[in-house]
Structure 1
Amino acid sequence: MDISHLVDGLNEQQREIVCAEPSNCLVLAGAGSGKTRVLVHRIAWLIEVLEVSPHSVLAITFTNKAAGEMKARIADLVKKGGGGIWCGTFHAICLRILKQHHTEANLTPNFTIIDTGDQKRFIKRVIEQLNLDKKKFTPDGVIGFINKNKEQGLRAATVKGSHDYMHNQLLKIYERYEILAAQENLVDFGELLLRTHELLSRNEAIGKHYSSKFKHILVDEFQDTNGLQCALIHSLQGKDNNNYVMAVGDEDQSIYGWRGADIGNVLNFDKLFNDTKTFRLEKNYRSTENILKAANAVISNNSDRFGKELWSDIKDNALIEFYRAPTDRQEASFLTDALADHYKQGGKLNDCAIFYRTNAQSRIIEETLIHHGIPYRVYGGLRFYDRAEIKNVIAYMRLIVNRSNTEAMLRIINLPTRGLGSTTISKINDLAQKHNISLWDTAKAITQGAPAIITDLNKSKIAVVQKFLDLIDKIDDSIRGMGLQEQTSTIIKLSGLEQLYNKNKDADYESARDNLQEFVNAANIAFNSDESSDMEIFLDNIALESGSTQAQEYEDSVQLMTIHASKGLEFLKVFMTGMEEGLFPLEKSAYDDKLLQEERRLCYVGMTRACRHLCITCCEARLLYGRENYNPISRFIEEVPKELIRNLNDKKRTTLLNNSMIKLKVGTRVNHPTFGYGEVTNTEDNGHISRVQIDFEHEGSKWLVTEYAQLQIL
């Protein structure tokens, strides 16, 4: 038998895995090591050489795209075709099983899968039925509670009660949610996995059917599995010693612990499965030797790992570039200059990516790219001013500036929730269109009982409308005489948006809070600019920037993304920004070893996305989360051997010119919008960043960066 097509082109480690005798095995596949190729060739080897029936092979991936790619490559490689192989995501495999055994799973044949959006609307109904406070119990928070318990295999009936009020109310919602979902024949994504696991583990006949069917189970991205998914693999394998699991993953790329992924599934593989073997894939086909040496050095500081040393045949003497800017604005300027140079030298922008740890960091980078006319796309997310929480604040600001702005009012009249449903809002809007007046004037006429406006709204609804009108007027009165930054902060607070995003600890809400604070930073910078210190002008400038749409997919453009979003991608040139303590790693991770190790893995993932060039940047002073931060360089940079780094600061030293420094001398009296009155006691200009020390009457002595300080000289 000619098997050359199955092994030709494979390196020694890859060939060893593809041709291995069947067993439970863990493949530790380093970044860019060709793991998909190994999986495909392994399946082909099973079918063609070991004469395993395609019907007894189950391949599990984490995305539909990966499943489609794997199916196509198997079909091309296997001479007699790969028909009969089950290949798909966990959810797709479970759906297929439940459709075939719906009766035993206590489902009707036409059960409906609900996505996250439908699930949120469904939970809203449950919250209303239980008469719970909508401000305390949000759909996102409830979904997090339900999913977390389902991932642990827990039904509402098996979740333990608590002395905690919130926990017990969430448990009531979970109980009611299960009852209604069963009545309406609805199944969410978490339910697909849990119900399938219960079916296989509790129904002996069905469990045995699938353990007899699937003799070879191959799982990709095993480091991303949670406890329930691992249990599901056990259920599919059964207790037959002739069934084998090949798990392919990389403990060094386990970066989704915050959403349930359990790195312990990889680290404890030999305890979870019997008679295991471990293989490694360490040859990297993506990055240069220097990039891999740097990444290896960083990740070697983690203890929760087996240990791998990635290496490459790509010999390139290019060092990892490092630049520490004076401020975040100058960091962004450095990036645009580097991209412009790359383009002028004949390079493509599509080959370049800018990574950041948090979404909030993208704002200043986007603004600088727009200003310099460099096209960009935000991968896997929205541009800063397109994000919902930002559009919500802008809508409040626009309505305050212009009460006739109906679009703004439609967006926020029931945000946060005030008890005005879509039907009520539509009735008011219909009246506005009928009488050809603004929504604001219509609402005002309704509350004043104007005879020309006939409405069937009851008194309670009219009272809610009046409360909203009063709120806008109150905010307008409160912010008069304030600076733009203080106005923005006050609007976020009085509108209820601050409370809305603070009450939930979900990662999405945390990102929204960061974005709101970054929006306040944008207002601060605008306030210090004579051109846009007024709210109306500030909004006009935002509209102009929002109108500069991001590049189309087919256009040559630089890619912007969080490091989490970069997983699975690769770029010729990568810029990793904001590499400072408190930002990357995050402040909350610094004293938690488990979180810190995940941050380091995230850094490793970011570094190994770069093919030929890696540039790491940070800054001395950053305006973030509403305060000036002077964070030291990230420990992850310190972990890279110095001989691998080319420090650009010697060539890129810039001078921060700040006109206010000319006037700010020792003894000058000033007023700060937050700290009040004070006197300058010291000034400092080290050639690239200017600071001033002020002794405030009520806040004591503080050092401020003059670029950010909103000082009024008295």
Structure 2
Amino acid sequence: GLGVLTGLAREYDRQKRRRGVIDFSDQVAGALRIVRGHPAVAAELRERYRVVLLDEYQDTSVVQTDLLAELFASTAVMAVGDPHQSIYGWRGASAGNLGGFAAAFSSDGEAPTYSLLTSWRNSRRVLDAANALLKPLASGSPVRVDALQARPGAPSGVVEAAFDLDVDAEAERVASWFSRVRADRAAAGDSTTGAVLFRAKKHMVRFADALSRHGIPHRILGLGGLLSTPEVVDVVSALRVISDPRAGSALIRLLAGPRWSIGLADLRALAALSRRLARHDSALQALSPDVADRMRRSGGDEGGSLIDALDWVLRQPDDHGWLDGFTGAGRERLRDAAAVFAGLRRAVGMPVPDLVRLIEIELRLDIELSANETRGPARIAGDQLRAFVDELQGFLATDDSGSLTALLAWLDRAERLDEFAPRTE
């Protein structure tokens, strides 16, 4: 009940104070305290922003409204919003703010209202379907929202609905439908573009695979979806390997992949070698029991580092006794991989987009993508890599350090979070 939530909120606040951290709502509340406590700050902001447009106003929280009203009440301010598109209630946003706009911002509690009801992009039947879905929401809306209207000359359009028992069947249906529509339009001399919208990114690659099977060019938009495409996963794995000696899983993916095709027996031998190296010093003398015990108690990795073991293989002659567990072909492929990663490590100071391109070349992704149609047409896969670089450019434009470590931390976060979920930003 409410008591449980209140207790959780208090404990959350206590933990933030104990750790010396703040979240987004704390920032807004702090700004409100400053504005109320220092009138000169509010006056300066009002002078700087004489006309204010508050977009997506249905997604503002109570404290955000208080802050904005403290700054811009009784000035030239307009709010634009749609109560039917309110998606941030979980963080305190309230579509009811739309109904309270006049009371919050106007000295006499009055404000004119304008409706933007004409859709300039959709056909008539799409709007009919949208209005039918929105109708049950009308009774709970804080402001009146009339039915959407089609633009003059809008086509009738077609709305189809289907339900499949599993994602793969659904993806195949979508790809087949788009292939048919594309062919029909091509026969009439028309080009075709389209979009598949997702509530979550986890199924994007499966739909992309279905489109590839039908020969339909496509591009996944957004970092979250791109990070699950095989060619981007390979590039990110290489970035991890040259940045972090603990990135054993990323190394295994690349060693076992088409670039080196190292078998299970040699991968097991590499893991055994990493454990053996972890129990010996740089002169390959066994660590004393007390040193080994201190390493264990300090959180040291008893399994060693696969990346360090790979580097070690590169430096040793074929007749070294510790390499007896490897096949001849495995040793040569491991040495080649070690040399590639050593070269990439030396190039880590390059601009990140150039480093990514070098990784593509060293991993021979262009050759692999051309030869392996199960990953989709090479041009499509290449487009995904270019889109990934575009996303990286966006990050680098906002990151002061531009370091590989910061970039990988950002990619880690993007992998953990579903970017289609509401974000506190």
In structure 1, the residue matched to 2:324 is none
For residues 195 and 174 of structure 2, what CA distance do their matches in structure 1 show? 10
Equivalence map 1:193-212=2 (5 Å):
193-211=28-46
Using the TM superposition, give the Cα deviation of residue 367 of structure 1 relative to its aligned residue in structure 2, in angstroms.
2.4
For residues 292 and 551 of structure 1, what CA distance do their matches in structure 2 show? 37
Name the TM-score, length of structure 2 as normaliser.
Answer: 0.53
In structure 1, the residue matched to 2:172 is 333
Q: Answer yes or no: is 1:298 the counterpart of 2:133.
A: yes
Distance 1:289 1:543, change over 3 A: closer
In structure 2, the residue matched to 1:444 is 275
In structure 2, the residue matched to 1:466 is 302
Using the TM superposition, give the Cα deviation of residue 451 of structure 1 relative to its aligned residue in structure 2, in angstroms.
7.4
In structure 1, the residue matched to 2:203 is 361
For residues 244 and 43 of structure 2, what CA distance do their matches in structure 1 show? 59
Question: CA RMSD, aligned part only?
Answer: 4.7
Equivalence map 1:187-336=2 (5 Å):
193-211=28-46, 214-238=49-73, 241=74, 243-258=75-90, 260-273=92-105, 274-302=109-137, 303-305=139-141, 306-312=144-150, 313-325=152-164, 327-336=166-175
Using the TM superposition, give the Cα deviation of residue 444 of structure 1 relative to its aligned residue in structure 2, in angstroms.
0.7
SS in 2 for 1:410: coil
Using the TM superposition, give the Cα deviation of residue 450 of structure 1 relative to its aligned residue in structure 2, in angstroms.
6.7
Using the TM superposition, give the Cα deviation of residue 452 of structure 1 relative to its aligned residue in structure 2, in angstroms.
4.1
Q: Deviations over 1:125-171 (max 9, x none)?
A: xxxxxxxxxxxxxxxxxxxxxxxxxxxxxxxxxxx99766x963762
SS in 2 for 1:321: coil
For residues 160 and 5 of structure 2, what CA distance do their matches in structure 1 show? 54
Contact 2:56 2:81 in 1 (8 A): yes
Contact 2:118 2:149 in 1 (8 A): yes
Distance 1:335 1:413, change over 3 A: closer
SS in 2 for 1:379: coil
Q: Deviations over 1:262-289 (max 9, x none)?
A: 3222233244332222221112221122
Amino acid paired to 1:382: G
Q: Deviations over 1:337-378 (max 9, x none)?
A: 2222233232545x2001122222324312222333322222
Equivalence map 1:106-125=2 (5 Å):
none
For residues 441 and 546 of structure 1, what CA distance do their matches in structure 2 show? 36
Contact 2:58 2:83 in 1 (8 A): yes
Q: Deviations over 1:533-576 (max 9, x none)?
A: xxxxxxxxx99639966463899xxxxxxxxxxxxxxxxxxxxx
SS in 2 for 1:278: coil
User: Which is bigger in relative contact order (C-alpha 8 A, separation at least 6)?
Assistant: 1
Distance 1:374 1:543, change over 3 A: closer
For residues 202 and 175 of structure 1, what CA distance do their matches in structure 2 show? 25
SS in 2 for 1:466: coil
In structure 2, the residue matched to 1:370 is 212
Distance 1:384 1:315, change over 3 A: closer
Identity of aligned residues (%): 20
Distance 1:545 1:190, change over 3 A: farther
SS in 1 for 2:162: strand
For residues 407 and 207 of structure 1, what CA distance do their matches in structure 2 show? 46
Name the TM-score, length of structure 1 as normaliser.
Answer: 0.33
Using the TM superposition, give the Cα deviation of residue 462 of structure 1 relative to its aligned residue in structure 2, in angstroms.
7.6
Contact 2:219 2:383 in 1 (8 A): yes
Using the TM superposition, give the Cα deviation of residue 448 of structure 1 relative to its aligned residue in structure 2, in angstroms.
3.5
Q: 1:177 aligns with which of 2, 17, 20?
A: 20
Q: Deviations over 1:165-215 (max 9, x none)?
A: x9637623444325xx9xxxxxx8666644433221111233344446655
Unaligned runs of 5+ in 1: 1-159, 182-187, 396-404, 415-436, 470-541, 556-598, 603-714
Q: Answer yes or no: is 1:545 the counterpart of 2:375.
A: yes
Distance 1:247 1:439, change over 3 A: farther
Using the TM superposition, give the Cα deviation of residue 407 of structure 1 relative to its aligned residue in structure 2, in angstroms.
10
For residues 40 and 162 of structure 2, what CA distance do their matches in structure 1 show? 63
In structure 1, the residue matched to 2:225 is 383
Q: Deviations over 1:433-472 (max 9, x none)?
A: xxxx987345312443377436898523686422689xxx
Q: Which 10-residue stretch deviates more, 209-218 or 371-380?
A: 209-218
In structure 2, the residue matched to 1:531 is none
Distance 1:448 1:214, change over 3 A: closer
In structure 2, the residue matched to 1:534 is none
Q: Which has the higher strand share?
A: 1
For residues 300 and 213 of structure 2, what CA distance do their matches in structure 1 show? 43
Q: Which has the higher helix share?
A: 2
Equivalence map 1:632-671=2 (5 Å):
none
SS in 1 for 2:112: strand
Contact 1:288 1:316 in 2 (8 A): yes
